[in-house]
Structure 1
Amino acid sequence: MGVKLDIKRKLLARTERVKCIDMHPTEPWILIALYNGKVSVWNYETEAQIKSFEVSDLPVRAAKFVARKNWIVTGSDDLQIRAFNYNTHEKLIGFDAHQDYIRTIAVHPTQPYLITGSDDMSIKLWDWEKKWQCIQTFEGHQYFVMSIAINPKDTNTFASASLDKTIKVWNLGSSVPNFTLEGHQKGVNVVEYYNGNEKPFLISGADDFTARIWDYQNNSTVQKLEGHSQNVIVAGFHPSMPIIFTASEDGTVKLWNGTTYRLENTLNYGLGRIWAYGSSSKENILAIGADDGFVVISLGRDDPSISMDNNGRVIWAKQTEIQSTNVKIATESTAVDGERLPLVIKDLGNCEIYPQMLQHSPNGRFVVVCGDGEYIIYTALAWRNKSFGNGLEFAWAHTSNDYAVRESSQSIKLFRSFKERPANSTPNLSSLGYSAEEIFGGALLSVRSTGNTLNLYDWESGNLVRRIDVAALKVYWSENGEIFSVITEDSFYVLRYSSSAFHNAETVTSEGVEDSIMFMSEIQEKVVSGCWVGNCFIYTNAANRLNYLVGEQTFTIAHFNASMKLLGYAAKDNRVYLVDKDLSIISYSLPLSVIEYQSAILQGELEAAAEMLPSIPLEIRPKLAGFLEAEGMKELAMEITTDLEQQFDLAIQLNKLDFACNLAKQSDAEAKWRIVADLALKLFRFDIAEESLLKAKDYNTLLMLYTSSGNLEGINKLSQHASESEMHRLQFMCHMLAKEPEKCLELLIKIDHLPEAALFARSYLPSHTSRTVQKWKDMLVKADKQKSAQALADPSEYPNLFYNYNQSLDAEKYSEKINSKKINASDYLNHVDDLGRNLIQELIDNPELLTLKNVEEPLIDLAQTEESDVKELDTEKSDVEDPVSDE
């Protein structure tokens, strides 16, 4: 069987003829050099062109990223090397480099070196830190130099391919080649090194329609790849998969098995002759450039082949190399949530097949590797071969003694203690009667069929337990084998398995035993990876979050910037471990006691939950309180939380006014006092409301409270607070309510509201009108408005202009007497008619009122005048300021 490839097209763009492609090492960017002299950068995730450079009027045949400098370097048919800053688009330099077309550029991975090859048959080494000086020239080829590749295992060595039919290997310190590889019948177009450490290989493609794999230590041909019908322009080893790719002027891309050298796939995207390529281990990307554009494809899964046992021992594959580490050792020092763990990596050995799936047995003693249509079981510690065989897929049973192998779409074999069980002991599995697509392990053997059906089988008898109509992508089982989750494209289901219902069933129908599987819940989330810890399902989702599910409640532990795979949970460490595509491992704290507490709450075992509480760290309790609040247990949530903010919110929700008041005192935050005041008013606790409003400095609400309760003393205190806070409107209102017109007038004068002050004096304090008008005049004169000042009439000088002015002076004295006696707000209805009294008219009708010592009927408001008392003054509209405002 061959390598299982999941080929997906990520980007296809129609452009001018593409002569060179390069991939950015960290960004999802692809560099495209065109025959029309332009260079562009595309983002293959967004499928958009993000940068463009006008390099030359002639073709650009070579272009490379220099990521550590934020550069693009190009070589074109005008014989020039150019460098651009790809962030600013600034051209940094341009200089003549060769005497003929520049065909190829290689960037040294660590040194400030650029190596170029040309049709002038020379290779040159440039140092950009020495002002782009050519520090060495390599001569020896007899025809055009088409390609240069630096050895990744020895960066002091590089290889070159030429149309003189040879490949030469050079050292940077020598101008003559170390050796020459000969074998192609025509010119060689491309050369590349193998990236791994285990094989000293080169690959080349030539005009003889073949690609050759070379052992450069023995100077010999390892394999010749034949199949193209035109010149082979592209050849390379994929950096992260055991795949060799070649492409030709015949318009096809061929993918070959890197182990057997057998052709696995041929691709043709209809873009014409192929001229360029780029590959990256990031997301297993391959890019191909041709006459009519370029295409970017991914060749396999993004998630790495990696597994962790319950004790924190991690094993992973890098191509066919197997490595391991122990996260427990890495977390013995204080582990920080979300930070990369400092791992001590150990080489275990190699694998005979390319691992497309790697998984520990449930007890952690063995590891199975699947790939290339085979499986091999190794011991986890010594990495010794324990068993092997042919199979498309592999699944462990809940006990490590049993496992299943899908041999074909029609047959599944069961094994016990590494020996195949007789087919007649499980006839339902040895001959399925339907087409199986994938199998999953666990307490039951799960088989997904082509009709989007999940078939659950008993490991012992091989009988059908239940058939479920669901398109399952993955199946995860809890440790006790009672609960499992079925992952689909857009959601996942939580189901319960009753083994007693299955084993006690009298008959088994074609759909299995109905009562054996019970539906619990469906969660609308796209799960990427997951595992069960007790009754808690921990998972990562497509939104790059780490969540866990208890009952039907989902809780978020962390957010990520990129996709992460869940490795598992180590109960001894109380930590969840995850890994990214680059095999960087991170962890997050999730105490087992939290999961057990939540499970006990959901099962109604409150006493057991109370016993667990002391073992739960204090910093975790606010999250636990959020869980209890969602379950409607707010009293208990308020008791256990250590977050004062959360405790305060819960106290408010529960109408625990005194407790909330004490919490507000601890923080003394105005926002909290406002909330307490609102609750106190709701509960008619006016004493606490008054205290809270004062501390919240909510003086407007306090005014409402004082006026509603007839609290004159409070109004007087409030006027002082308003004065200190420069809330002039509120201060004015307090003085008015307290029947203190003199203070109202002085406030208006103090804040320079002199027009309002004059009108107020005429209405309420006519004896102060003259001095107020004089101040108004002085202000106008100072503002250079003499005409307006002259237009103002003083009632003491022109009493004839002010109707009943002398009587208003008597009314002022009379109002002082009647306002000296205060009345309660509760008596408002008895005195509401007093608001309409005309004191001037009363004094005209009965002048003896001024001589009375006691006034029997006090007024609620101050003295009033009729509309005719105030004559319209001929003043400029702009001379009268706005009403009193809080300055």
Structure 2
Amino acid sequence: MLLDVNRKLFTRSDRVKGVDFHPTEPWLLTGLYNGTVNIYNHETGAIVKTFEVSEVPVRCVRFIPRKNWFVAGSDDFQLRVFNYNTHEKVTAFEAHPDYIRCLTVHPSASIVLTGSDDMTIRAWDWDKQWRCIQTYEGHTHYIMNIAISPKDPNTFASACLDRTVKMWSLGTSTANFTMEAHDKGVNYVEFYPGADKPYLVTASDDKTVKIWDYLSKSCVQTLESHTNNVLFAAFHPNLPLIISGGEDGTVKLWNSGTYRLENTLSYALERAWCLSVRKAVNEIAVGYDEGVVVVKLGRDEPTYSMDPSGKLIYTHTNEVLSANLQTVHAEELADGNRIQLSIKELGTTEIFATSLSHSPNGRFVTVVGDGEYIVYTALAWRNKAFGNGSSFAWAGDSNTYAVLEGRLKLRVYKNFRERTGAGMKGAGSWAIDGIHGGTLLGARGSGFVLFWDWETGEVVRRIEADAKNIFWSGTGSLVAICTEESYYVLRFDRDAYEAKLQEGVDISDEGVEEAFELIAEIPENIRTAKWVGDCLIYTNSANRLSYFVGSESYTITPFDTPLYLLGYIPAHNRVYLGDKDVNVYSYTLSLNMVEYQTAVLRGDMDGAAELLPSIPKEQRNKIATFLEGRGLKELAYEVTTDPDHKFDLALSLDDLDAAVEITRTVPELEAEVKWKAIGDRALTVWRFDLARESFEKAGDLSALMLLLLSTGDRDGLQKLAVQAEQKGQNNLAFATLLQLGDPNACVDLLVKTQRAPEAAMFARTYAPTKVPEAVQAWKSELTSKNRSKIAAKIADPIEQPESFEEGWEDAIAREKGEQQSPLPVNGASDSVPPVDDDEEDETAA
């Protein structure tokens, strides 16, 4: 099995006796021989949290994620529980009278099972204050491991140094049955995670790993390769692997189908003690004498292929499953919702598939993996052809395909027979990483992409690029070359290529430069992609579903987790995607909309107009946004069905009458913002009447005051002052009255709004006849606030005439004269004191 093995985390520490992955956080829990528990971020390698649990070894640790806890068992006989968020110790108690060797957390019940050197297993219920609800007896040596059955959570198995494996039920203190498993002590037991096999895997001090059928209690296979005690062995939940490790310091990967040793991993950290498998992705963690290692096995992307009719085929380990998306009722689908599919078992494949690919006509499916390829019939899943090959590519006619053997040997087949005499020119001169089918045969290597003509074998073009994938359109004219940082869309010009051939030009290894024209370069990292006509639909590394048409890309939707593109069904107008477990989701994308955009980009407005009626109404707004982005605002205004968008377009086109009509139809609360926008725009085009109407309906009195001042509308300002006072906008009302030259009204307004000190000061300068009234109001206000002493200190202009005698008559005469000649409407005098809203009585006194 050719499986990529990538080390993600390598950190040294004291001896690691227990490890566990958190199911949702990027955390790895480790229990150390020195009594410490560490939580690592296995993506960054940093220690997130540290707990000093005990002074003796911690031999087993597990997360309880639903409670935000972890539980640890140690050599001081104590079972301790900590909240890993708050660092609070939840509980600690003596669980056994001897070392606690192992523990496991029930997947659904509030139960922790512990195994000890006292030769018993005990069940603890945290919902019952950690009371021991059951003790299981029968083993005659140390209990080394406990595993709960994934098929029946009421059943668990135990491994013991008495050489046996026992099967138990939670409610019964005695074992259901016992298997004499090994010649020496059994260190580990684990269930097969699938539903199709009643298997257990065990690891022993006799240096072997065994697979058991626990129904028949028979040994299915014995795996021998370790040179010392084997301390753990487990089935991988997603890959056809058994992972084992032990005191020889190695971790071995076995094929769970053929039981062949596939790989041996050694990280020079002495003995391997414990294992945890992360189910969400293909990662394992191994604890050693000198540290911990996290390894990623293979890739997360599922192995699948969907033909143009909607038939989906995918693999799970060596099983081949199928579903038909064509039978899904598109009208019942909602964007982003998981689709319930009827899954069928199609068959099995002899190799572990790393890629699947349908032939263009959908009749055949090719499986590639383990350095081999097999071509199956899509309907009956019968073997049609096979051979050695690390990469496979179909031509456009479904009768021709190419196979890459190693990195230098390229074979071409037609009608399932190898084509002789017309090989690909210079194919053995380049080290090729992979080949890709389509109009031309593409090959990618380190720093180059090479295209050959299927029929002649001539080099069409060599392009310098570090590509990771190549996608040909169904029309055969466009190709996308994807790199780690961006993708390039090129147009293939066959006429230009053949013209050079007819001229008799000697085509070198570089091919014909005129054969390809660069259309666009988009800075996105494509994960999966499909061409639909001249539209490239793809998912990128930022978890977005997008499509490329013409020379630009457009986002359909973002999503939270990585999704992989399955295909597009035109009859449904939907894009189908799947996650790593091939749970299927869909999103709407009208092909007519894409064709409309293509016509607009090509300048074919007549063709676009013909397509417009066929576009669903729910897609019209996307079309309008596209047209607006292209500067076609008039057309966007006609197309859009969104009133807000239509309003914005009307404003930008200065079609204020249309904007007014739209605004009259919307609710009053929403209309205020629109009237304000209309008023602002009306001012810029000198439509003052419309601006005044808009500001009035928007209730924007400030803007209305400025407009009325600019136009010298005295009557309008008087009405505005009344309206502002009614709405409680007193500052605006005061400013309007001041602009009207009516100081008496200003004083009255200040008094009425409990601003008597400001009224008195203002009256002394601008309205002397109002001074007594203002002062009296001031005194009354202070008296009402129990500040009579301050009120008594305020000078009374009537009782103390000497304070006001000088110039009093002149002031009154001046006031009368000013009333005959009001203040200019266009502005107030610079000498007008500012109105301060904050009243400081004692300072005023």
> Normalising by the residue count of structure 1, what TM-score does the alignment of the two structures yield?
0.87
Asked whether the 8 Å contact 2:410–2:424 carries over to 1, the reply is no
Distance 1:87 1:812 in 2: 76
Q: Is the 8 A contact 1:21 1:289 kept in 2?
A: yes
Instruction: Tell me which of 758, 761, 769 is aligned to 2:760.
Output: 758
Unpaired runs of 5+ residues, structure 1, are: 829-859, 868-874, 882-887
- Structure 1 match to 2:425: 428
**3-state SS in 2 of match to 1:733:** helix
Q: Is 1:104 the equivalent of 2:99?
A: no
2:460 aligned to which of 452, 457, 465: 465
Determine if the alignment matches structure 1 residue 503 to structure 2 residue 467: no
Query: How far off is 1:19 after superposition?
Result: 0.7
Q: Which 10-residue stretch deviates more, 103-112 or 388-397?
A: 103-112
User: Residue 362 of structure 1 corresponds to which residue in structure 2?
Assistant: 360
Letter in 2 for 1:721: Q
1:56-455 to structure 2, matched below 5 A, reads 56-68=54-66, 70-86=68-84, 91-110=89-108, 113-125=111-123, 132-139=131-138, 141-153=139-151, 155=153, 157-169=155-167, 173=172, 175-176=174-175, 178-184=177-183, 186-216=184-214, 219-332=217-330, 334-422=332-420, 424-428=421-425, 431-449=427-445, 451-455=446-450
**2:528 corresponds to which residue?**
529
Structure of larger gyration radius = 1
CA contact (8 A) 1:126 1:136 kept: no
Distance 2:338 2:804 in 1: 89
Deviations 1:74-113 (A, max 9, x none): 3322223444555555555544443432222234445555
> In structure 1, how many angstroms separate the alpha carbons of the residues matched to 2:297 and 2:513?
41
Q: 1 CA distance for matches of 2:15 and 2:276?
A: 15
Q: CA deviation at 1:511?
A: 0.6
Partner of 2:592: 593
The yes-or-no answer on 1:695 pairing with 2:694 is: no
What corresponds to 2:836 in structure 1? Answer: none
| Contact 2:475 2:534 (8 Å CA) reproduced | no
Alpha carbons of 1:402 and 1:753: their partners in 2 closer, same or farther (altered >3 Å)? same
User: Which stretch shows the higher mean deviation, 160-169 or 628-637?
Assistant: 160-169
In the aligned structure 2, how far is the partner of 1:519 from the partner of 1:866? 70
Residue type at the aligned position of 1:295: V
Q: 1:273 Cα deviation (Å)?
A: 1.8
1:479 aligns with 2:479: no
Assess, with a 3 A threshold, how the Cα gap between structure 1 residues 341 and 87 changes in structure 2: closer, same or farther. Answer: farther
Equivalents in 1 of 2:717, 2:237: separation in Å? 81
Flag structure 2 segments of 5+ consecutive residues without an equivalent: 834-838
Structure 1 position 493 matched with structure 2 position 488: yes
Cα gap change, 1:166 to 1:793, in 2 (>3 Å)? closer
Q: Indicate how the Cα distance of structure 1 residues 386 and 773 shifts in structure 2: closer, same or farther if over 3 A, else same.
A: same
Identity of aligned residues (%): 45
Distance 2:106 2:790 in 1: 87
- The letter of the residue matching 1:798 is P
- SS of the residue corresponding to residue 39 of structure 1 reads strand
Contact 1:795 1:805 in 2 (8 A): no
Mean CA deviation greater in 556-565 or 792-801? 792-801
Instruction: Answer whether contact 2:424 2:452 (CA < 8 A) is retained.
Output: no
Write the distance in 1 (CA, Å) between the matches of 2:344 and 2:580. 19
Counterparts of 1:3-82 in structure 2, within 5 Å, are 3-68=1-66, 70-82=68-80
Secondary structure of 1:558's aligned partner: strand
Match of 1:640 in 2: 639
- Decide which moves more: 436-445 or 100-109: 100-109
- Structure 1 residues 387-396 or 775-784, which shifts more? 775-784
Q: Secondary structure at the match of 1:557?
A: strand
Structure 1: distance between partners of 2:173 and 2:133 = 14
Identify if the C-alpha distance between structure 1 residues 711 and 388 changes in structure 2 by more than 3 Å, giving closer, same or farther: same
| Letter matched to residue 646 of structure 2 | Q
SS at match of 1:504: helix
In 1, Cα distance between equivalents of 2:566 and 2:378 = 16
Report the AA paired with residue 477 of structure 1: W
Alignment correspondent of 1:551: 550
Cα 1:861–1:142 change in 2 (3 A) is: closer
Change (3 A) 1:60 1:865: closer
Contact 2:545–2:555, Cα closer than 8 Å, also in 1: yes
Structure 1 residues 428, 261: CA separation in 2 closer, same or farther (over 3 Å shift)?
farther
Residue 253 of structure 1 aligns to a residue in which SS?
strand
The code of the aligned residue for 1:402 comes to T
Task: Tell me the CA shift for residue 696 of structure 1.
Answer: 2.2
C-alpha contact (below 8 Å) 1:117/1:148 kept by paired residues: yes
Offset from partner CA, 1:771-825 (integer Å, 9 cap, x none): 3333334444455253664451416751574322123333334444455xx99x7
Instruction: Tell me the C-alpha RMSD between the 2 structures.
Output: 3.0
Q: Which amino acid aligns with 1:697?
A: G
Instruction: Look up the match of 1:745.
Output: 747
For 1:459, give the aligned amino acid: W
Seen in structure 2, the aligned counterparts of structure 1 residues 540 and 191 have a Cα distance that, compared at 3 Å, is same
**Structure 2 residue identity aligned to 1:601:** V
Contact 2:565 2:577 in 1 (8 A): yes
Q: 1:861 to 1:47 in 2, by over 3 A?
A: closer
CA 1:802–1:269 in 2, change beyond 3 Å: closer, same or farther?
farther
1:734 aligns with 2:736: yes
Q: Distance in 1 between matches of 2:205 and 2:142?
A: 13
Of 801, 816, 832, 1:798 maps to 801
Paired letter, 2:809: N
Q: Give the superposition deviation at 1:367.
A: 1.6
Give distance in 2, aligned partners of 1:532 and 1:87: 47
Deviation at 1:631, TM superposition (A): 0.9
With the length of structure 2 as denominator, give the TM-score of the two structures: 0.91
Q: Distance in 1 between matches of 2:320 and 2:287?
A: 34
Instruction: Find the counterpart in structure 2 of residue 836 from structure 1.
Output: none
Range that drifts further, 695-704 or 620-629 = 695-704
Q: CA deviation at 1:563?
A: 1.0
Residue of structure 2 in register with 1:680 after alignment: 682
Matched, 1:786 2:794: no
In structure 2, distance between residues paired with 1:762 and 1:73: 81
Question: Paired residue for 1:631?
Answer: 630
Aligned counterparts of 2:455 and 2:774: Cα–Cα separation in 1: 106
Shift of 1:473: 0.4
Deviation track 1:444-474 (CA, whole Å, cap 9, x = no partner) reads 111112x311111112222211101001101
Q: Contact (CA 8 Å) 2:136, 2:173: kept in 1 or not?
A: no
CA displacement at 1:709 relative to structure 2: 1.4
Deviation at 1:218, TM superposition (A): 5.6
Contact 2:78 2:95 in 1 (8 A): yes
Residues 187-223 of structure 1, C-alpha deviations (whole Å, 9 max, x = no match): 3322323333455543333333333344545655554
Identify which range, 528-537 or 70-79, moves more after superposition.
70-79
Q: State the distance in 1 between where 2:680 and 2:339 align.
A: 50
- What CA distance in whole angstroms lies between the structure 2 residues aligned with 1:137 and 1:815? 106
How many residues are treated as equivalent by the alignment?
830
CA contact (8 A) 2:119 2:137 kept: no
- 1:850 aligns with none
- Distance in 2, Cα, partners of 1:879 & 1:524: 66
Query: 2:813: which partner in 1?
Result: 810
The whole-number CA distance in structure 2 between the counterparts of 1:816 and 1:110 is 88
1:424-443 CA-partner distances (Å, limit 9, x unpaired): 222527x5212111111222
Q: Is the 8 A contact 1:780 1:789 kept in 2?
A: no
Q: 1:876 to 1:572 in 2, by over 3 A?
A: closer
Task: Determine helix, strand or coil for the equivalent of 1:432.
Answer: helix
2:709 partner letter:
T
Stretch moving more, 612-621 or 36-45:
36-45
